[in-house]
Structure 1
């Protein structure tokens, strides 16, 4: 099972269209996870053309997205639970807030966004994954998104690229 993971797209403010590199992976994915800060509902509707979309709202998402999506969600993929949250808030780091969101849940992977900083690590047997942003790299050298490959285990990887289109 191939899951494309994106976050912090901020469209249309940061990009009018999805990057070509991302479109390649969207064409053959089983699920799409968006970890918040879409900005408008149009991207949600566009992503649904490629596959089932599981997403959460972030701190810049308006009422229309908030009526469609939760602030946190869990995707059951194969034998695994993938927790999804944007990670915004006050106090602590974005990563710590994301981890604490699922402290009382059985998850194998936590996907979060907000910082636009790609992260891949394992903490106490749980994969902690921030895909970065495919449209707003901020202080990062490259744009990025993620792929989760789910089989006997979950394999997480980043896809880095220099140009949006």
Structure 2
């Protein structure tokens, strides 16, 4: 398993992995109609992939804040400003690669990048994604509040907001 920076050549493989994860886990609740655009958003600051053999099996991105509840919660709680906050997003790993610590290693790459850039990472995760919540908590992410994730045409689902550990 190799964790490396995302390149444009990874887009098709990452999109295929995203569709596979959506089929097995229902994540993400949006973006699978056009997975390449969802992965390669203009708001991405940096991204990484997990590669096993020659196959992309996972992905994560650090994104600019775009009005996420987790950003607002952290700014209020920390008295920091949004310019010093990044959003960990677009994290997905195909089921067959989860026992190889791909998710943890992707998150470590994102956290390392954020620290080097002087950013504190936050995220929100839907309550239904219990395995993701276990991963975040095992890695020391701290719950900072709850929100509702709105998507589609008026759909909503409960979510929990987290902030990365300081060390």
TM over 0.5: no
- What TM-score do you get using the length of structure 1 for normalisation? 0.29
Greater per-residue helix proportion: 2
Say which one has the larger Rg. Answer: 2
Q: Which structure has more RCO (C-alpha within 8 Å, separation ≥ 6)?
A: 1
- What TM-score do you get using the length of structure 2 for normalisation? 0.29
